[in-house]
Structure 1
């Protein structure tokens, strides 16, 4: 097997990993959407964290739960936090048993998971199709030599 055949493993395995990771994230997102409680919250401020080599801004939201408990949580997964000014009203989905895992009620994560599944499937299925077509071409190209060798017996 040449290195070109081994090179085909790279997009194939990347596609499998991306598809699997997206399916897991999609299952978690679906579970969060079906079991969580949605409430109105107020942006009370912003906090910065270093997620990579740059500082990232996260909104801090507060709300009062149905049982009367006041909660204030920084939303680490919120994209576009700078677009949420202090005092803005937002919809937050949270699990009453674990309110520290609250998230903005948007479909951004859901769309990201679906895009990841499509891209991953495109990578592994596309690689598989190219490899199968290449194998069919190689087998078809070698077939006359084998048939000629078999006719002597």
Structure 2
């Protein structure tokens, strides 16, 4: 039997969440000190993060619409959120077009688009979480973006953060 979700987000709440997310100064503190906790594994550089992904069984955070949500699995895409998702994507694409961050490059790898797309995915999923009344698994991810960091990978109960 399919799960039924009951939308709980009002238009004002969606607008407030959208303003909060689009007001974030994304990637402004990459590589700066971040305290290690039981659920956050800090990486001082992209090179260190890439090594941790391989060594510690982390998986990249999702970046595309077709990627599964690592916290909730498959979720419906309510049509009433379509305009909010488009607005979020447009805002983050504008923001990221001006970014030139050496911290997102490692050797021949330039991860600007991956970082941007992961931020867009996180924002869309947080909006969906609130709308469907789901547990706030994406809230800590958004909070890390608000601090200027990039939560680039996950493992059960942990986030790898640059």
Please give the range of the TM-score, normalised by the shorter of the 2 chains.
Answer: under 0.3
Higher relative contact order (CA 8 A, sep 6+): 2
TM-score with structure 1 setting the length? 0.26
TM-score with structure 2 setting the length? 0.25
Q: Indicate the structure (1 or 2) with the bigger Cα radius of gyration.
A: 1
**Higher fraction of helix:** 1
